[in-house]
Amino acid sequence: MDDASQTEIVLHIGAALRQARHVVVLTGAGISAESGLPTFRNAQTGLWAQYRPEELATPDAFRRNPRLVWEWSMQLADLAARSQPNPAHYALVELEQRVPKFTLITQNVDGLHQRAGSNAVIELHGSSTRVRCFDEGLIVDGWAKTADVPPRCPYCGGLLRPDVVWFGELLAPEKLDAAQAAADACDLLLSIGTSGEVEPAASLPYRALRRGATLAVVNLDVTTRASGSISTIHGLAGQVLPALVRAAWPDPIM
C-alpha cells in the first residue's frame, strides 16, 4: 500500500466507486482472515492442517463419519461465533450506504458481514450459523439434548448438518441466479480475499468484466488471471477497504 502505483489504483477505484450506479462486491475467506478465521488455502495450523476441507466437507464424508464432520463443522462455527468483524467488513457497510445500488455476495459462511451490519447478503455457500436436516433439508432452530452426535432432526429423526454448501453440492439456484444477474448488471465489481478457485463464484468477476464493468481485486497475493483491464490492489483487506472508501468519500458518514 506504500507503493505509489498502488496509491494511484486506490484513487482510481475510489473515483470509479463514487460514480458507480451499481456496485457488486464478492468476498472470500481472506476478508475474515484479520478477524482470526483461517482461510482454506493459507492456513497452516490446527484443524486446517490436520484435514483437507475438500475431503472432509463433502456429503460422502458425512455419510462415512457424520460425527467427525459434525464436530469439525461445529468447531469452525464456534470459532466464527467468537470472532468479530474487522475494518474491511465495516467498510462494506459504509459502501452499501454510499452507492445507489449495492449487492454483497459472499462465499463465506461465518456470518460476519451481517454482524457488521450489511443487509441482504447473498450467502452463496450458506452459513455455519444455521443447521438443517441432512435428509430433508429443513432448517432447524433447536433439537433435543441427547447423546446423539450429530443431533437428530426434531421432525423426522434424520441427522442434522450445518447449512453450508459442501464440495460436490449444488448452490441454491435462486442465490446463484441473483449473484449472476448482479454481476451482469453492475458497473463495478470488487473481488476481495478470494483465491478464485471455487466455481461458480470464481466466474462472477469475469462475467462483470465481459459486460464492461470495472473489475478491482483486493488480495494479499497475486491470484487473478493476469489482464491489463483488472485493477489489482495487493494488501490486507482490513487496510485496503477503508482506504478505498475514504478515497471515494473523504468525509466519513456522521
Active-site residues: which are they?
125
161 belongs to the binding site for ligand NAD (CB under 6 A): no
Tell me the residue nearest to ligand NAD as measured from the CB: 30
Side-chain half-sphere CA neighbours of 136 within 13 A: 10
Cα 146-80-218 angle, rounded to 5 deg: 155
- Pick one of 17, 25, 26, 34: the residue that binds ligand NAD (CB under 6 A): 34
Can you tell me the distance from the alpha carbon of 23 to that of 143, in angstroms, rounded to the nearest whole number?
40
The pattern of x and - marking residues 174 through 203 that bind ligand NAD according to CB under 6 A reads: -------------------xxx-xx-----
- Alpha-carbon distances of 5 from 40, 69, 249, rounded to whole Å: 30, 45, 20
118 belongs to the binding site for ligand NAD (CB under 6 A): no
114 belongs to the binding site for ligand NAD (CB under 6 A): no
Cell of 34: 484479520
- Pick one of 17, 23, 26, 28: the residue that binds ligand NAD (CB under 6 A): 28
Can you tell me the distance from the alpha carbon of 27 to that of 139, in angstroms, rounded to the nearest whole number?
24
Can you tell me the distance from the alpha carbon of 90 to that of 78, in angstroms, rounded to the nearest whole number?
21
Secondary structure letter of residue 212 according to DSSP? T
Give the residue from 161, 119, 169 showing the smallest Cα distance to 139.
Answer: 161
Q: Is 87 helix (H, G, I), strand (E, B) or coil?
A: helix
237 belongs to the binding site for ligand NAD (CB under 6 A): yes
Number of residues that bind ligand NAD (CB under 6 A): 28
Nearer to ligand NAD, 54 or 136 (CB): 54
Instruction: Note the Cα 47 to chain centre separation in Å.
Output: 20
Choices 17-25, 37-45, 66-74, 146-154; region in contact with ligand NAD by CB under 6 A? 37-45
- Return all residues near 2 (Cβ < 8 A) that are at least 6 apart: none
Please report, as residue ranges, which positions from 74 to 113 form the binding site for ligand NAD (by CB under 6 A): 107-110
Least distance to ligand NAD, CB of residue 16, Å? 19
Q: What type of residue is 83?
A: S
Can you tell me the distance from the alpha carbon of 254 to that of 101, in angstroms, rounded to the nearest whole number?
21
Choices 58-66, 152-160, 172-180, 219-227; region in contact with ligand NAD by CB under 6 A? 219-227
Least distance to ligand NAD, CB of residue 97, Å? 22
Phi/psi for 226 (5° steps) reads -60, 140
- Pick one of 16, 25, 29, 213: the residue that binds ligand NAD (CB under 6 A): 29
Least distance to ligand NAD, CB of residue 241, Å? 9
Choices 36-44, 150-158, 171-179, 180-188; region in contact with ligand NAD by CB under 6 A? 36-44
Positions touching ligand NAD (CB under 6 A) are 28-30, 32-34, 37, 39-42, 107-110, 125, 193-195, 197-198, 218-221, 223, 236-237
